[in-house]
Amino acid sequence: MKKLINDPNDVVTESLRGMALAHPELLDVDLEQHNIYRATPKQGKVALLSGGGSGHEPLHGGFVGAGMLDAACCGEVFTSPVPDQIMEATSKVDSGAGVLHIVKNYTGDVMNFEMAAELAADMSGTEVATVVVNDDVAVQDSLYTAGRRGVGGTLFVEKIAGAKAESGADLETVKNTAQKVIDNTRSFGMALTSCTVPAAGRPTFDLGDNEIELGIGIHGEPGRERSEMKSAHELALELVEPILEDLDFTGSPVVALLGGMGATPLHELYLMYGEVQQILEEKGVRVARSLVGNYVTSLDMAGCALSLLRADEEMLQLWDAPVHTPALNWEE
């Protein structure tokens, strides 16, 4: 294992320290609790809180800031944050309008966020609503999941619900917006290589020199099948088809995210995106907005994933709304 780390036990704390130093104007980082806060919170609005295991950077901490998350709770690598940690962040970001928890559908995360929500209600009277992201069409149940896994589409939920909260909507409305995004988002990923968890020190799984995993999870959980390596065009079909089989994406504007798994460079991601968009167009799907890059990753895994959102005009407007975070930053 060759990684830019010191002691494998310290990777989360030390990575958060670097993130804090790199973004002092955007982030306040609690290095004890492993919680990341928006440096300039906006009072009176619904607060958005997400989190999960580390190793998926920039998710979630890179999405903390104006127009997106108010806090991110970072667990150890591929491990849920703990209830006390989430409770503390929940209480801290509540400025009276309540808090939306955005949780990826993994058993540990769902359980810990639920406990934290109850604790926060008991301790400080914070009103918490929760949505669970389950966009991965690859498998029904998985290693750490009952039901579908939450993967790249989480970015859509955080961006669009974040813009809705920023606009002053109340907790129920923000929750409904988030749920609508989840209901209309589907994802599918693939791995060319395994990731290596620092504390394990060796690849999570083995892939042959000409072998790939289709439907990979973002923790290296098994997907649908092993396959031989294929061309970018054929791989794009492998990404697009299971998504379109699961939901009809024609007739609405679509937001597309072609995300790298951490070790795939932009050179390849752009090439892949060209194939994906061409196939979508041939199938009658109109891409209205797109994003290409490493956003929801799996440590040093090579590979990519496609997430599609069947949007409407309001979702597009919320997507376009200003955002100022380390990983997404734009004016309208």
Instruction: Show contacts with its own copies in window 195-234 (CB under 8 A).
Output: 209-210, 212, 229, 231-233
Stretch that binds its own copies, among 10-18, 116-124, 150-158, 163-171 (CB under 8 A): 10-18
Residue of 194, 197, 240 whose CA lies nearest to 213: 194
Residue 18 interacting with its own copies (CB under 8 A): yes
Number of residues that bind its own copies (CB under 8 A): 59
Q: Is there a contact between 56 and 189 (Cβ–Cβ < 8 Å)?
A: no
Residue 269 interacting with its own copies (CB under 8 A): yes
CA dihedral 293, 27, 154, 34 (to 10 degrees): 110
Residue 282 interacting with its own copies (CB under 8 A): no
Residue 140, helix vs strand vs coil: coil
The residue from 99, 254, 302, 305 that contacts its own copies (CB under 8 A) is: 302
Stretch that binds its own copies, among 2-10, 134-142, 156-164, 213-221 (CB under 8 A): 2-10
Question: Which token pair is 269?
Answer: 């991601």
Residue 57 interacting with its own copies (CB under 8 A): yes
Q: Going by DSSP bridges, is the β-strand pair 128-133/303-310 parallel, antiparallel, or unpaired?
A: unpaired
Is 97 or 306 the residue whose CB approaches its own copies more closely?
A: 306
* Residue 219 falls in the annotated catalytic set: yes
E strand map for the chain: 27-30, 35-38, 47-54, 71-77, 99-104, 128-133, 185-191, 211-214, 225-228, 253-260, 286-293, 303-310, 323-324, 329-330
Question: Which token pair is 159?
Answer: 């961006």
Q: Cβ 271 to its own copies, closest distance in Å?
A: 4
* Residue 233 falls in the annotated catalytic set: no
Amino acid at 123: M
Residues labelled catalytic = 56, 219
Chain residues in the site for its own copies (CB under 8 A)? 2-6, 11, 14-22, 54-55, 57-58, 62, 192-193, 209-210, 212, 229, 231-233, 235, 258, 262-275, 277, 287, 290-292, 294, 297, 299-300, 302, 304, 329-331
